[in-house]
Structure 1
Amino acid sequence: MGVADLTPWQDIILQTPFLLFTATVILALRFNQTRVIYIVLFLALAWASTGKVENIDYFSFHPSLFFISQLLVLMAFSFDQNKVVWGRHGLLRILILFALLAINYRFNQSITVNEWLSAQVLPTGSESKLSPYFQIEFIVSALCLFTLAIRQVLKPSQLNASIWALAFGVIVMNFGDFTYHTIILSYCLFGVLIIHAVLTDSYQMAFSDELTGLSARRALLQSSISLGKKYTVAMMDVDHFKKFNDTYGHDVGDQVLRLVASKINGVKGGGKAYRYGGEEFTIVFPNKSVAYAIPFLEQVREEIANYQMAIRSDDRPEDKKQGKSDRKKSKAASKFVNVTISIGVAEREGNLKEFDQVLKQADEALYRAKQAGRNCLAE
């Protein structure tokens, strides 16, 4: 059955990848994920230019050169910093895409390009049945997957992982021999994969605290809807944090917040930690009473109070091994500080029916803990 013989429903299915790519671009614009836009635009061109889909061939590109171009685009834009779409940064990226397309179109039938792409870099048998372009495609594919894997290790995110998966899918599509139904499904999956990545990363940005890695205040308020009729809320505050910040600087202050967050996040007893804002943190114990939660809260408070934090020097070496060696030699001269927290805790009971009421009660208890001398817990 040719393309001309497709029913209306089959024609819609054939255009589904374009619909998904359009939805992805709209989402990317909404959440300022501009690198996604350029990747998707090139994917759409890849879909439109494929000759495997029942001889649909909107553009005339060299298949091997275009495949390599796709991988180069994925590698390049995986490192993009999400600059604005409009303006000189956006114009530069669009020019790069058009330059790649122009190169592909111009050298489609070039004998020189064919010779370059079919160069035998790796040893192979004289009777090899592989494509003449296999070696260069294989090398670029391996380089692309390795580069994107390093990117994910250095800066893990759902989008970076999805770009790696996307590159892997493009590579499989290139080396495999698939029916047009499989190709349609694959490009649909590419679109769904990127949409999922954009939504997941946007959720992380909205509901997670970048500095500490804890769930943010918005996540706390969202989760409060499903807490039920019994729970305990603890409000925590780093003691004398402003004075500490003024003395040692904001960089050390950030170190303190990360340290406190890591200790709070390790709370036992089923507690869930959040960064409420500034130097304030919250722990929620679903289906637990104050009496149950207090021992676990006291354990966190004592762990923080007993931890000696070394103040990092501004001139510390970049090399971690060298830094560790230097610290051993000058341990006695190192600057150590202790950080403490105060805790206020309240339970949903009696007249405290709403979450904001329980939260306010815990905040008032936190104030009493401050008044009692700090580094303590109050109900």
Structure 2
Amino acid sequence: MKAVYIPVILIFALFFVIQNGMLDLRPWQALLKQAPMFLFIGAIVVALKFKQSRVVYILLFLLLSWALFVEIEHFKYLKFSPSLWFLSQLLILVCFSFDQNKTIFGRHGFFRAVIILAIIMANYRFNHSITLHELLNTELVTGLKLGGMTQIELILSVLALLMLAVKYISSPSKSILSIWIITFFLVYFRLIDAAVLTHLVAFSVFGLLLIQGVLTDSYQMAFSDELTGLSARRALLQSSLSLGKKYTVAMLDIDHFKKFNDTYGHDVGDQVLRLVASKIDDVKGGGKAYRYGGEEFTIVFPNKSVHYAIPYLEQVREAIASYAMTIRDNNDRPDNRKTGKAQRSKAQSRSKTVHVSVSIGVAEREGELKEFDEVMKQADEALYRAKKSGRNCLAE
């Protein structure tokens, strides 16, 4: 939750200060008026670089919103309804958030462009629609005033925020979080009828949020393992550059994993990888866990000797070996975690309990072992000796 409320609180504080005149930005108004354009263009370039297609089109729409807001000459004649354009922004943010990051300029890109064009045309067509205006201003609760927002807008705003929250919970990413924060503040500004300066600063903040979101997601894809959530091999190699002169490296390999995978299938194999990864990630003693590749994992103990690390590695090995994993048919799988836990403890007849184990090889940077790849090779050779010794053991 920190990822949500900390940026919201900080940005809220900034807007509160500006909205209430505690910070005089009028001398900077000309700069603030143009800054969002450069930030949005920069964000689009970054999103294109990292193939974040949905963010590209969201940025294009926000760029258009900024242009309409500051009334650039080419857009003056449009004069869209603020209420209808506000709802259009919510629609774009929600729809494109649930869209996949497919091709930017191909068929999917064309489809997104058509959606944006259709929304612009709808705004132009229904700008003066009395029926639509009356519908949006329908009072569901008599006498309830919501600043610059109608009651229908509030309901649709809450629905949009809930849908984006569901999207973030189901597939967490910094980009989706940034879009949720942007949506939240668009709703907030509509509710309080925010001042012009607040809007101008907000557009710049929105651009920065999406740049940060794209860069963070790209970093996660490059340096984190999607299946297990552990840091990936690239992160291991990057961190090795700053390890210093003393450290211990352990290589861990799941015993008989290929046979297990062939017997129970890849889905169960993925469950085993996630289980083992969670146990390895719980390593104590200052160890840092990585997924090296396949069924191999690495733990690095910075500034620690091999004799210091061994007891903590043994704890990991024993925790994995002692864990009873229950394999069920798909039809026998419980609907929630509590039921699953109860079924594991009762060892129901239609379930099969299996155990997995790991072999560990460990090496320390010392003597002639100066380079990280040399220490890794030594740990890998120790792992081979552990395998030859009967598996489910540690060798140094």
Give the TM-score normalised by the residue count of structure 1: 0.90
Query: Quick one: distance in 1 between partners of 2:380 and 2:112?
Result: 50
Query: Quick one: distance in 2 between partners of 1:173 and 1:198?
Result: 24
Provide Cα deviations, 1:169-194, integer angstroms capped at 9, x if missing partner: 21122233444333221110000000
Task: Pick the aligned partner of 1:165 from 181, 184, 190.
Answer: 181
Is structure 2 residue 135 aligned with structure 1 residue 116? yes
Instruction: Specify the code of the residue in structure 1 equivalent to 2:385.
Output: R
For the 8 Å contact 1:316–1:323, the answer to whether it is kept is no
Matched pairs, number: 367
Is structure 2 residue 66 aligned with structure 1 residue 47? yes
Task: Pick the aligned partner of 1:273 from 289, 294, 301.
Answer: 289
* Match runs of 1:277-316 below 5 Å: 277-316=293-332
For the 8 Å contact 2:53–2:101, the answer to whether it is kept is yes
In 2 relative to 1, CA 285–331 (structure 1 residues): closer, same or farther, beyond 3 Å? Answer: same
Which stretches in structure 1 are left out of the alignment for 5+ residues?
Answer: 1-8
Provide Cα deviations, 1:261-282, integer angstroms capped at 9, x if missing partner: 1110000000000000001000
Task: Pick the aligned partner of 1:23 from 42, 58, 78.
Answer: 42
Query: Quick one: distance in 2 between partners of 1:348 and 1:217?
Result: 19
Shift of 1:66: 0.3
In 2 relative to 1, CA 308–129 (structure 1 residues): closer, same or farther, beyond 3 Å? Answer: closer
Instruction: Specify the code of the residue in structure 2 equivalent to 1:351.
Output: E
- Give the structure 2 partner of residue 70 of structure 1: 89
- Give the structure 1 partner of residue 266 of structure 2: 250
- Give the structure 2 partner of residue 370 of structure 1: 387
- Give the structure 2 partner of residue 350 of structure 1: 367
Query: Quick one: distance in 1 between partners of 2:175 and 2:30?
Result: 30
In 2 relative to 1, CA 202–335 (structure 1 residues): closer, same or farther, beyond 3 Å? Answer: same
- Give the structure 1 partner of residue 8 of structure 2: none
- Give the structure 2 partner of residue 220 of structure 1: 236
Instruction: Specify the code of the residue in structure 2 equivalent to 1:17.
Output: P
Query: Quick one: distance in 1 between partners of 2:194 and 2:182?
Result: 17
Instruction: Specify the code of the residue in structure 2 equivalent to 1:378.
Output: A
- Give the structure 1 partner of residue 250 of structure 2: 234
3-state SS in 1 of match to 2:363: strand
- Give the structure 1 partner of residue 25 of structure 2: none
In 2 relative to 1, CA 221–164 (structure 1 residues): closer, same or farther, beyond 3 Å? Answer: same
For the 8 Å contact 1:53–1:183, the answer to whether it is kept is no
For the 8 Å contact 2:249–2:363, the answer to whether it is kept is yes
Instruction: Specify the code of the residue in structure 2 equivalent to 1:165.
Output: I
Query: Quick one: distance in 1 between partners of 2:252 and 2:66?
Result: 53
Is structure 2 residue 191 aligned with structure 1 residue 175? yes
For the 8 Å contact 2:146–2:191, the answer to whether it is kept is no
Query: Quick one: distance in 2 between partners of 1:251 and 1:280?
Result: 18
Provide Cα deviations, 1:178-214, integer angstroms capped at 9, x if missing partner: 4433322111000000000010011111100011110
- Give the structure 1 partner of residue 166 of structure 2: 150
For the 8 Å contact 1:234–1:283, the answer to whether it is kept is yes
Give the TM-score normalised by the residue count of structure 2: 0.87
Provide Cα deviations, 1:266-306, integer angstroms capped at 9, x if missing partner: 00000000000001000000010000000000111111111
In 2 relative to 1, CA 171–275 (structure 1 residues): closer, same or farther, beyond 3 Å? Answer: same
In 2 relative to 1, CA 342–79 (structure 1 residues): closer, same or farther, beyond 3 Å? Answer: same
Instruction: Specify the code of the residue in structure 1 equivalent to 2:313.
Output: L
In 2 relative to 1, CA 359–129 (structure 1 residues): closer, same or farther, beyond 3 Å? Answer: closer
Which stretches in structure 2 are left out of the alignment for 5+ residues?
Answer: 1-27
Instruction: Specify the code of the residue in structure 2 equivalent to 1:227.
Output: L
Task: Pick the aligned partner of 1:97 from 109, 116, 126.
Answer: 116
For the 8 Å contact 1:48–1:58, the answer to whether it is kept is no
Give the share of equivalent positions with the same residue, in percent. Answer: 61
In 2 relative to 1, CA 120–243 (structure 1 residues): closer, same or farther, beyond 3 Å? Answer: same
- Give the structure 1 partner of residue 9 of structure 2: none
Query: Quick one: distance in 2 between partners of 1:243 and 1:122?
Result: 64
3-state SS in 2 of match to 1:50: helix
